[in-house]
Structure 1
Amino acid sequence: MKNDIFENQSIPKAVGSLALPTIMGMLVMIVYNLAGTFFVGQLHDANQVAAITITMPVFLLLMAFGSLFGVGGGSYISILLGKKEGEEAKQAASVAFYGSLAIGVICMLAGLLFMPQILHLSGASDNTYEYAKGYLMIIAVGSPAIVASFALGQIIRAEGAAKQAMAGMMIGTVINIALDPIFILWLGMGVTGAAIATVIANIISVSYYIYYFVKNDSQLSISFKKFVLNKAILKAIFSIGTPASINSLLMSTSNIILNNFAVHYGDNVVAALGVVSRVVLIPIMLLFGLCQGVQPLIGYNYAANNRKRMISIINFTALWGTAIGTIFALLFYWMGKRTIEVFINDPVVVDLGENFLQVILLSIPFLGIQFLLTTSFQAMGEGIPSLWLSISRQGILFIPILIIANAWGGLKGVIYAQPMADIMTTVLAVVLFYREVRKEQVLLGKKQ
């Protein structure tokens, strides 16, 4: 790791060095997410587009488990490296890797055993059930690779190797995009083909990450010799990773609930929501990439007691996050219909999607600050505030708002629920972070 990035480089250069590769990696992931929907949309079958939307909660669930070991392990590794505890960092990396593999196997078995129950719970209708089943069957088999791929990318990023983490994502995504038209269109496999392409891509990404560790370019290790069920390591990984995991878990739960509300208004509504969710992934993933990229920088400086530099990094990133979110919100508001038409040409779905997109864009300018402060708490090892923010955006705020808004405003209320929850969570994030900063100032004053 080049400690100069963490300790001495100017804030813009340090943020750029770590965040830009991560953002580029997220851009590749965005293309991957959009490509599957795009090629399935070329089949001109709204039911197959809806099937991908219905199975999205399962993918988010796998991300939740990847976050448990990836974000938890990665954040803890950054803190250990900031304290110059290299051997403990190697042990933490090994525990995070093998933990992600183990939980991926458990997800595979659970997915295959409880397939019908999962599909019905996710909101599959008579028109979408078989399509969703074909997709989910393949994703379940590939669960270990999907979970491990997400976790390993976070672990590698924790030591400042953002370019290598991006490369792993890019390799898998390029392969996924190349395989999508082959399986979906040329072989006529539809949504099942999309799932096969996804699993193959994740297996190749994992292979690249393992090669990165094996060729000794890393100061970390995923060797089984370093695997130690150390209580302190497990406690740290779970205390930091659980809030991030709960965030993805609640995203999965909220998507299931949203699908169940939406399906009552018809499969076209589900399809439109699916397309819109892919479109808004562009600014969301870019902002997430920005915040994930600076997480090691924040964690390192926090552990090194360089609070002034840490706050400067957070302020600089918040400014850019707000600017990026605002630009994309204005851009998609202006060209929303044309964006929806890229993925599907059904006029009913396009009109619904345009209306949904205009509403959901209302909260995009606020997400940069929300993601940044949640990431900052994780980087500082502050699991409780991070947990509150995680369960607010997709849980204790979103779900009650969704239920009340649906009862009050029908479909319109359902669409407004997420932006309302996002804005309220951002306010909560600012309040919690201000309290944390005040507490730090008091503690430092007492020490002096």
Structure 2
Amino acid sequence: MKNGAYMMKLNTYDLTQGGILKKLLLVAVPIMGTQLMQMAYNLTDMFWLGRTPNSVTAVAASGLAGMFLWFGASLMMMGRMGAEIGTSQSLGRSDIDAARGYAQNSGRIALILGIVYGGILLGLARPLVGLLQVKDPVVLGSASAYLRIVAFGIPLTYLSAAITGAFNGAGNSRLSFLANSVGLLVNMIFDPLMILGLGWGVGGAAIATVTAQGVVLLLFVW
């Protein structure tokens, strides 16, 4: 990776100096905004899928697939929290090398977890959706197709989350917020184009999501 992702560029918000409230808000508000943006991906998909001819089945398929993505978020947080805690503690001790090591190791762990979980979704999409007792074959097929496409973006999402954690731990949560904002904007632009413009429906929503996730990772490692 290029140095941009792991150089631990510090922001100006040193929480150990001066008043705490203002500096804490400057760090915490972007973090909360980033979390809200993760929720907005699925909501954006549902908004545009609700305007397709088969809106009921399309929204149902997206919602079902989203359950497995939210489940996978718990695995994703392992890499992110490890990066946040490790880098923040190391930087608090002024140990830049240790901070960089925590960030890099968290990124590797996140990538491995992402590949494993993405592989599970790719290979077992239909059986997993079937566990939810879906009776409609169209919904079952659409949800499975959505998961198979999104599975390719899971490693990207996990790695981006670990990098986000590293920057948050370094006090530079604004950079993470900006990168994820661009990703959400890409998703919001691509969703109507692929879902309605190209008529790809649920598959288009999945492709738009993966594209947006790729853009976020690209911004981090640029």
Q: TM tier, shorter chain?
A: 0.7 to 0.9
- Opposite residue 188 of structure 1, the aligned amino acid is G
Q: Among residues 175, 182, 204, which one is paired with 1:171 in the alignment?
A: 182
More helix by share: 1
Q: Aligned pair in 2 of structure 1 residues 2, 147: CA closer, same or farther (>3 Å)?
A: closer
Offset of residue 86 of structure 1:
1.9
Q: 1:154 aligns with which of 145, 165, 173?
A: 165
Partner of 1:333: none
18, 23, 39: which one aligns with 2:48: 39
- Aligned mates of 2:74, 2:124 — CA distance in 1: 19
Cα RMSD after superposing both structures: 1.9
Equivalent residue, structure 1, for 2:24: 15
**Does structure 1 residue 87 correspond to structure 2 residue 107?**
no
Does 1:116 pair with 2:122?
Answer: no
Q: Which residue in the other structure is 1:350 paired with?
A: none
Paired residues, what number?
211
1:208-237 Cα distance to aligned partner (Å, 9 max, x none): 1112xxxxxxxxxxxxxxxxxxxxxxxxxx
Q: TM-score if structure 1 supplies the norm length?
A: 0.45
How has the CA–CA distance of structure 1 residues 123 and 205 changed in structure 2, closer, same or farther, with 3 Å as cutoff?
Answer: farther
Give SS of 1:78's match: helix
SS of residue in 2 equivalent to 1:5:
coil
Change (3 A) 1:64 1:14: same
Change (3 A) 1:71 1:194: same
Report the equivalent of 2:144.
133
Could you tell me how far apart the structure 2 residues matched to 1:123 and 1:54 are?
11
Residue 204 (structure 2) pairs with residue 204 (structure 1): no
Alpha-carbon offset, residue 6 of structure 1: 0.8
Computing the radius of gyration from Cα coordinates, the structure with the larger value is 1
Partner of 1:338: none
Task: Indicate if the aligned counterparts of 1:180 and 1:197 stay in contact, CA closer than 8 A.
Answer: yes
Aligned mates of 1:201, 1:18 — CA distance in 2: 24
State how far apart, in whole Å, the 1-side matches of 2:127 and 2:33 are: 37
Amino acid at match of 2:105: V
Taking CA–CA contacts closer than 8 Å with sequence separation of 6 or more, which of the two structures ends up with the larger relative contact order?
Answer: 2
Q: Distance in 2 between matches of 1:112 and 1:27?
A: 26
8 Å CA contact retained: 2:87, 2:99: yes
The answer to whether the aligner puts 1:49 opposite 2:59 as a matched pair is yes
CA contact (8 A) 1:124 1:132 kept: no
Provide the identity percentage: 25
CA distance in 2, matches of 1:35, 1:79: 36
Change (3 A) 1:49 1:113: same
- How far residue 74 of structure 1 moved from its aligned partner, in angstroms, is 1.3
